[in-house]
């Protein structure tokens, strides 16, 4: 019987009512409680002498109760209890509200630890409602858990203690002894006890390290197992290489990195016994579309259809236009399929796809819809893959008999992370921009300088260039507020500084048709200034645009800012990015200064990871990875170790079929069962 089969109500003091609260925290079973690791710890050993307390800081004091507790009534039928404690260096006043037990809990003359925020006034140092523990009984380090209304830390501590006491004496450790020795990892039982109630800091660190390592290892192994599974499928062979012939017709010479990417794909499609399953990762503007076009041409010339899925209507439309031009003299049939087309338009295109008239279909997720049936899909390409879940990517691939799969991403992700996130894919990195690109000059300004910035934009437009202005962000609730906000903001600009210039608006609430029209007008130069919400973020290509101004820059993650900035600097003109922000917080300043300093997406991604943790990447769980209990991806050293360990284990036992790995296999299964990735 596993503790994961025992409902949380088996713990004393947890009835059905309280169990609801535990479930809110994701704790359904006693086992879940054991793996509900503390979010931080209070260190009661780091005491400060009273005389050295620092106002406004959270401190720990070891002191003796120096006065009896005096309780008085205050307004609203509440009570206030006051007392003083002392150590060798001075006195500290304590205040508690509405706690009638204080006088029995804090006894005159006895010694306690107190932890809380310190204030200082004319009566001296004070703490309001500090936490406290008897000095003789205090553990050095106590756990602090995630809480929810109705559940306090004491209840969590009690539940964790009892859950741990139910662990069997002899635990089977999913990590083989050999591996633990090699990476200096403590055993599971020690780790579980010390992650909750560590004997000291070193024990806590050791326990956490072991659990983090294990979780990353499981994640790694799970992703690798999926990858090897996809290798079992049969392939569509595309013997002849047509890419080279196509590349000759392009209006430019491919960069070395683009050529390598094409080669990788063609090699996969011609030689591998299994279908291509490749990610092309290249910074904005690195020319992924041309690589795709070559792959599509190769696919069609070998007798198959190619599908190219983009995350937005705008982007799908733009790719369609690009492809029509690139394939103008080839006779290839290219079609567009998006959700906003009329029912009869869609039906016609779907007929062409089904009866094989279409060679290349470009579209949005309408491509994945059940009513889209391909006659012979040979290659499924997904652009800006971070916008799609793992499931949608798989959806497109399921439209054929194990077609070749290519995904494109401009979200630069540090390499270590990429290995995990895209563990099921082979990776090609395009690490070179087409020649002649200049660095986008980036400035971070306060709103007091906005007028100057707008003047600068005017000058650029007078020289024939175009500009993007990203609207201030609206607070939660978006939807109509987004539209309202975009409209108001644009109106202000149209009536004010830009009254003599053509201004267009683009926001998420617009009908796709209207969006397309605005985008077309911007692309053709009819509109000089495009005021938009972040819908321009992805992939749009207007080479004449040279300025990107972003309001409320502090509210965007670095990766998003980098994507936005990627809309300019795509042509021969020097381009500029102006980040407007009045939030002078240290973190904001630091983040925006990274943008000013570098244009390198990978460097920015690394900084983002360091400064914010991986939240920006994993917000909304966009990568479809399982939820982690304890690990995060900023611990790159453990990440690298776990990767090495995963490789070694799989080398020894390719399917983890080895008996000693049974428990590990079960844990991987559990980790992935909780996410949309299904493993079996
Ligand atoms: P992304 O990788 O961001 O999708 P695109 O494929 O949209 O980039 O390419 C950006 C721009 O660079 C396009 O206008 C494209 O025509 C151009 N381009 C792509 N490859 C080259 C090249 N080798 N030389 C010159 N221009 C190129
Ligand atoms: Mg692109």
Q: Is the dihedral of CA 219, 222, 228, 234 positive or negative?
A: negative
DSSP 473: P
Q: What is the SS3 assignment for 382?
A: strand
Q: Give residue 387's pLDDT.
A: 59
In this structure, which ligand is nearest to the CA of 286?
1
- CA angle at 253 for the pair 248 and 254, rounded to the nearest 5°: 100
Q: Give residue 227's pLDDT.
A: 65
The segments of the chain whose pLDDT lies below 70 read: 1, 138, 227-235, 385-394, 412-424, 474-483, 535-540, 584, 609-627, 633-634, 673-680
Q: Give residue 415's pLDDT.
A: 62
**288 CB within 6 A, ligand 1:** yes
User: Which residues sit opposite 94 in a β-bridge?
Assistant: 83, 127
pTM for this entry:
0.64
Number of neighbouring beta carbons within 10 Å of residue 448: 9
**599 CB within 6 A, ligand 1:** no
Structure tokens belonging to residue 320? 């369609």
Residue nearest to atom 17 of ligand 1 (CA): 287
Residues 6+ apart with CB under 8 A from 427: 278, 279, 280, 281, 418, 419
**285 CB within 6 A, ligand 1:** yes
Structure tokens belonging to residue 511? 């009908």
Residue 678, Cβ density class (10 Å: 0-12 exposed, 13-18 middle, ≥19 buried): exposed
How many angstroms separate the first and last alpha carbons of the chain?
22
- CA angle at 144 for the pair 143 and 147, rounded to the nearest 5°: 140
**286 CB within 6 A, ligand 1:** yes
**290 CB within 6 A, ligand 1:** yes
Q: Give residue 39's pLDDT.
A: 87
Q: Give residue 674's pLDDT.
A: 55
Domain 47-134 has CATH 2.102.10.10: no
Residue nearest to atom 12 of ligand 1 (CA): 287
Q: Give residue 268's pLDDT.
A: 93
Distance 374 CA to ligand 1 centre (A): 29
Cα–Cα distance measured from residue 419 to residue 400, given in angstroms and rounded to the nearest whole number: 27
Cα–Cα distance measured from residue 209 to residue 190, given in angstroms and rounded to the nearest whole number: 12
Do 233-430 and 441-598 agree at the fold level?
A: yes
Cα–Cα distance measured from residue 439 to residue 599, given in angstroms and rounded to the nearest whole number: 7
| CA distances to 323, 520, 533, 659 from 515, in Å | 20, 9, 12, 58
**282 CB within 6 A, ligand 1:** yes
Where in the chain are the domains? 3-41+141-199, 47-134, 233-430, 441-598
In this structure, which ligand is nearest to the CA of 280?
1
What DSSP letter does each residue of 389-440 carry, written as one string?
-HHHHHHHHTTSSS-EEEEEE-----HHHHHHHTTTSEEEEE--PPTT--PP
Cα–Cα distance measured from residue 518 to residue 540, given in angstroms and rounded to the nearest whole number: 12
Residues 6+ apart with CB under 8 A from 585: 554
Cα–Cα distance measured from residue 218 to residue 526, given in angstroms and rounded to the nearest whole number: 54
Top CATH class of 233-430 equals alpha beta
Distance 8 CA to ligand 2 centre (A): 49
In this structure, are residues 535 and 314 in contact, taking their beta carbons and an 8 Å threshold? yes
CA nearest neighbour of 603 among 538, 564, 559:
559
The ligand 1 atom nearest the CA atom of 436:
25
Domain 441-598 has CATH 3.40.50.300: yes
Residues 6+ apart with CB under 8 A from 207: 186, 190, 191, 192, 193, 194, 195, 198
In this structure, which ligand is nearest to the CA of 382?
2
* Helix and strand totals (H; E) in the chain: 23, 22
Residues 53-104 have pLDDT tens digits of 998 888 999 999 999 999 989 888 889 999 999 999 999 999 999 888 888 8
């Amino acid at each position: 019987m596993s503790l994961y089969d025992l409902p949380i109500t088996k713990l004393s003091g947890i009835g059905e009512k309280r169990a609801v609260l535990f479930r809110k925290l994701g704790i359904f079973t006693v086992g879940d409680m054991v793996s509900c690791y503390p979010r931080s710890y209070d260190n009661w050993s780091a005491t400060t002498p009273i005389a050295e307390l620092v106002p406004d800081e959270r401190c720990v004091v070891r002191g003796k109760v120096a006065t009896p507790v005096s309780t008085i009534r205050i307004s609203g039928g509440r009570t206030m209890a006051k007392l003083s404690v002392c150590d060798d260096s001075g006195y500290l006043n304590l205040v508690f509200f509405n706690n009638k037990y204080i006088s029995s809990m804090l006894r005159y003359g006895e010694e306690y630890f107190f932890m809380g925020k310190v204030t200082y006034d004319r009566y001296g140092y004070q703490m309001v409602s500090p936490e406290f523990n008897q000095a003789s009984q205090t553990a050095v380090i106590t756990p602090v858990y995630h809480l929810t209304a109705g559940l306090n830390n004491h209840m969590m501590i009690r539940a964790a203690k009892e859950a741990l006491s139910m662990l069997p004496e002899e635990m089977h450790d999913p990590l083989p002894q050999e591996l633990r020795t090699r990476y200096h990892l403590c055993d599971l039982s020690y780790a579980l006890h010390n992650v909750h109630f560590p004997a000291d800091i070193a024990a806590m660190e050791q326990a956490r390290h072991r659990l983090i390592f294990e979780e990353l290892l499981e994640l790694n192994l799970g992703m690798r197992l999926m990858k090897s599974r996809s290798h079992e499928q049969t392939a569509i062979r595309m013997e002849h290489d047509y890419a080279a012939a196509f590349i000759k017709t392009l209006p430019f010479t491919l960069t070395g990195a683009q050529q390598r990417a094409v080669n990788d794909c063609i090699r996969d499609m011609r030689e591998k016994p299994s279908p291509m399953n490749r990610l092309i990762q290249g910074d904005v503007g690195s020319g992924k579309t041309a690589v795709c076009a070559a792959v599509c041409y190769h696919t069609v010339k070998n007798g198959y259809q190619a599908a190219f899925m983009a995350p937005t209507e705008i982007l799908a439309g733009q790719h369609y236009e690009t492809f029509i031009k690139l394939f103008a003299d080839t006779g290839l049939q290219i079609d567009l399929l998006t959700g906003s087309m009329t029912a009869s338009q869609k039906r016609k295109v779907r007929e062409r796809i089904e009866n094989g008239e279409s060679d290349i279909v470009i579209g949005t997720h309408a491509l994945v819809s059940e009513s889209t049936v391909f006659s012979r899909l040979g290659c499924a390409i997904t652009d800006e893959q971070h916008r799609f879940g793992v499931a949608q990517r798989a959806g497109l691939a399921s439209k054929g008999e194990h077609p070749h799969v290519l995904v494109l991403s401009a979200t630069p992700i540090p390499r270590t992370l990429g290995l995990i996130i895209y563990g099921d894919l082979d990776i090609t990195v395009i690490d070179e921009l087409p020649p002649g690109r200049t660095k986008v000059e980036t400035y971070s300004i306060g709103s007091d300088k906005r007028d100057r910035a707008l003047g600068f934009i005017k000058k650029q437009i007078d020289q024939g260039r175009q500009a993007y202005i990203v609207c201030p962000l609206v607070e939660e609730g978006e939807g109509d507020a987004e539209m309202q906000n975009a409209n108001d903001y644009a109106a202000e600009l149209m009536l004010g500084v830009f009254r003599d210039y053509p201004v267009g608006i683009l926001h998420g609430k617009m009908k796709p048709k209207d969006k397309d029209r605005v985008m077309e007008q911007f692309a053709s130069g009819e509109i000089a200034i495009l005021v938009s919400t972040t819908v321009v973020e992805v992939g749009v290509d207007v080479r004449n645009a040279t300025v990107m101004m972003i309001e409320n820059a502090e509210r965007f993650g670095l990766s998003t800012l980098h994507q936005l900035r990627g809309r300019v600097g795509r042509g021969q003109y020097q381009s500029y990015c102006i980040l407007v922000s009045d939030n002078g917080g240290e973190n904001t300043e630091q983040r925006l200064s990274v943008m000013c300093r570098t244009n390198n997406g990978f460097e920015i991604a690394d900084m983002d990871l360091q400064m914010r943790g991986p939240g920006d990447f994993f917000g909304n769980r966009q990568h479809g990875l399982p939820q982690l209990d304890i690990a995060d991806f900023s611990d790159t050293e453990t990440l690298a170790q776990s990767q090495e360990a995963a490789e070694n284990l799989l080398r020894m036992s390719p399917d983890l079929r080895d008996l000693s790995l049974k428990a590990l296999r079960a844990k991987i299964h559990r980790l992935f069962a909780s996410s949309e990735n299904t493993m079996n």
